[in-house]
Amino acid sequence: MGKTLFDKVWDAHVVDTIKNGPQILYIDKHLIHEVTSPQAFNELKERNIPFARPDKTVATADHNTPTVDQHLPVKDELSRNQLAQLTANCKENNITLYGLGHKYNGIVHVMSPELGITQPGMTMVCGDSHTSTHGAFGTIAFGIGTSQVAQVFASQCLLLEKPKSLRVNVNGKLKKGVLPKDVILYIIAKLGTNSGTGYFCEYAGNVFEEMSMEGRMTVCNMSIEMGARGGMVAPDETTFEYVKGREYAPQGEEFENKVAHWKTLPSDVDAVFDKEYSFDAEDIEPMLTYGTNPGMGIKISENVPSENNASFEKSLNYMALEKGQSMIGKPINYVFIGSCTNSRIEDFRVAADYVKGKQKAQNVTAWLVPGSQQVATQIEEEGLKTIFEEAGFELRQPGCSACLAMNDDKIPVGEYCVSTSNRNFEGRQGPGSRTILASPLTAAAVAVEGKIINFVNHLN
């Protein structure tokens, strides 16, 4: 029987298998940030355990950072302390840190791929569930808890049971206006938020093969929202092209050798998956969520479904939406384009393309938060900044921002926010806020209109 992409990468990283127990998995890269690392550093210090591989660890500050006036001292005391602790911990342990203001600073899952830290065939972890993003490179990448962060600090390994395998195939031609974000929201709406529990998912089919690396990252990012530990796309020429020449990418002959190896990674033709689903690309439309988990999504042309159960009703109640209603025409006062799902240059290009020559609606506050300093620079260099500013959008500085609203970027109580982030949980974007997940194109169209529109016919 053939091996899956996941099997090949996993098996190559098993240091040891404990009889009737877990396996020891070697971790190639460990990404850390200010929020989930301090307790792990403390644990090591208390037990007098040396840090195993600082050279395989990279840190950034993103979750709890302000998106304005980053050159000034951080106002919030708790955040300031956390950042100071991260700086001190990294210094003490010789860990590379791209802190606030550094030209490489950014959201951990944006910063690492753009620097070429993320490479095919690697195992990567981070104390953040959207670490699945890096699977776009054919990497086994997943989020871990703080006690596991300490395990990796101490040994560069984790004790794990191997997950089962799942494959999601999407074939056919995507319709106009349908972005990678819509593809993944569609898959989650179809499969639900639990279908992936216990599995690692591979995305296959021509839709993913034809997708850019940034699109693949958007898809893999949300694997966790269907319960999967992570998602992967087989590495191919698109992947190699993307990695080539980046700061940490292998150079010259070493790169060629790596590529030769990476080419052996895709799943064998006769590989068998524990579970498999297939979807038709033509069936996908721009998507919106109407409820309080990412699985509660509909096509923009559809109405909110009618279900008679308490948790469904509680969810609609929170969102102040009615069963069977259309979302079209719903006034929206907040638009957020950002988060590790959709804050890369392509996301801003597609939004700018729509916005160019138009004005945001009067009622709308539109925040654009680039995923990294590098993306921010690109936005400026490509002239997108001018387009957005002329249209009345507010371009802020990089960070997680309103994705989890740990900093000041909060959506007010009761307000809707059409957001390109990944979670629409109750209060995720601020207490009482109501999140509608969508693609950056949908978000841009809503910002211009001031309400939800089916913009598909407006596309040229």
Instruction: List residues near another protein by CB under 8 A.
Output: 12, 15-16, 18-22, 24, 26, 43, 47, 49, 147, 150-151, 154-157, 159
* Angstrom distances, CA of residue 179 to CA of 184, 294, 329, 381: 9, 16, 22, 24
Determine, following the binding rule CB under 6 A, whether residue 128 of this chain makes contact with ligand SF4.
yes
Among 90, 191, 355, 400, binds ligand SF4 (CB under 6 A): 400
CB of 304 to ligand SF4, least distance (A): 25
3-state secondary structure of 389: helix
Nearer to another protein, 15 or 84 (CB): 15
The label of the residue with tokens 């689903």 reads 277
Determine, following the binding rule CB under 6 A, whether residue 118 of this chain makes contact with ligand SF4.
no
Helix (H) or strand (E) run with residue 238 in it:
helix 237-243
Determine, following the binding rule CB under 6 A, whether residue 107 of this chain makes contact with ligand SF4.
yes
Q: Show contacts with ligand SF4 in window 257-286 (CB under 6 A).
A: none
Nearer to ligand SF4, 44 or 345 (CB): 345
Determine, following the binding rule CB under 6 A, whether residue 404 of this chain makes contact with ligand SF4.
yes
Determine, following the binding rule CB under 6 A, whether residue 67 of this chain makes contact with ligand SF4.
no
Determine, following the binding rule CB under 6 A, whether residue 418 of this chain makes contact with ligand SF4.
no
- For strand 29-32 and strand 57-60, is the pairing parallel, antiparallel, or unpaired? parallel
Distance separating the N- and C-terminal Cα atoms of the chain: 48
The label of the residue with tokens 């919030």 reads 76
* Angstrom distances, CA of residue 86 to CA of 40, 111, 229, 293, 450: 11, 17, 26, 32, 40
For residue 18, the partner it binds in ligand SF4, another protein, none, with Cβ less than 5 to 8 A by kind, is another protein
Nearer to another protein, 147 or 257 (CB): 147
Nearer to another protein, 16 or 280 (CB): 16
Burial 266-303 (b: 16+ CB within 10 A, else e): bbeeebebeeeeebebeebbbbbbbbbbbbbbbbbeee
For residue 213, the partner it binds in another protein, ligand SF4, none, with Cβ less than 5 to 8 A by kind, is none
3-state secondary structure of 171: strand
For residue 233, the partner it binds in another protein, ligand SF4, none, with Cβ less than 5 to 8 A by kind, is none
* Closest by CA position to 222, among listed 302, 93, 157, 136: 136
Determine, following the binding rule CB under 6 A, whether residue 130 of this chain makes contact with ligand SF4.
yes
Q: Show contacts with ligand SF4 in window 303-362 (CB under 6 A).
A: 339-340
Measured CA to CA, the distance from residue 368 to residue 350 in angstroms comes to 13
Determine, following the binding rule CB under 6 A, whether residue 63 of this chain makes contact with ligand SF4.
yes
Report the 10 Å Cβ neighbour count for 329.
11
* Angstrom distances, CA of residue 172 to CA of 218, 438, 442: 19, 22, 22
CB of 346 to ligand SF4, least distance (A): 17
Nearer to another protein, 146 or 169 (CB): 146
CB of 375 to ligand SF4, least distance (A): 13
CB of 56 to another protein, least distance (A): 10
Nearer to another protein, 43 or 268 (CB): 43
Measured CA to CA, the distance from residue 359 to residue 355 in angstroms comes to 7
CB of 71 to ligand SF4, least distance (A): 21
Determine, following the binding rule CB under 6 A, whether residue 136 of this chain makes contact with ligand SF4.
no
CB of 17 to another protein, least distance (A): 10
Nearer to ligand SF4, 171 or 193 (CB): 193
Determine, following the binding rule CB under 6 A, whether residue 181 of this chain makes contact with ligand SF4.
no
CB of 150 to another protein, least distance (A): 6
* Closest by CA position to 26, among listed 36, 39, 13, 11: 13
Number of residues located near ligand SF4, criterion CB under 6 A: 14
Q: Looking at the DSSP assignment, which residues form a beta bridge with residue 204?
A: 169
Q: Is the dihedral of CA 68, 74, 75, 76 positive or negative?
A: positive
CB of 422 to ligand SF4, least distance (A): 5
For residue 24, the partner it binds in another protein, ligand SF4, none, with Cβ less than 5 to 8 A by kind, is another protein
Measured CA to CA, the distance from residue 133 to residue 139 in angstroms comes to 9
Nearer to ligand SF4, 67 or 422 (CB): 422
- CA 243 from centre of chain: 18
For residue 19, the partner it binds in ligand SF4, another protein, none, with Cβ less than 5 to 8 A by kind, is another protein
In contact, 106 and 339? CB cutoff 8 Å:
no
Measured CA to CA, the distance from residue 336 to residue 365 in angstroms comes to 8
List contacts with ligand SF4 (CB under 6 A).
62-63, 107-109, 128, 130, 339-340, 400, 403-404, 421-422
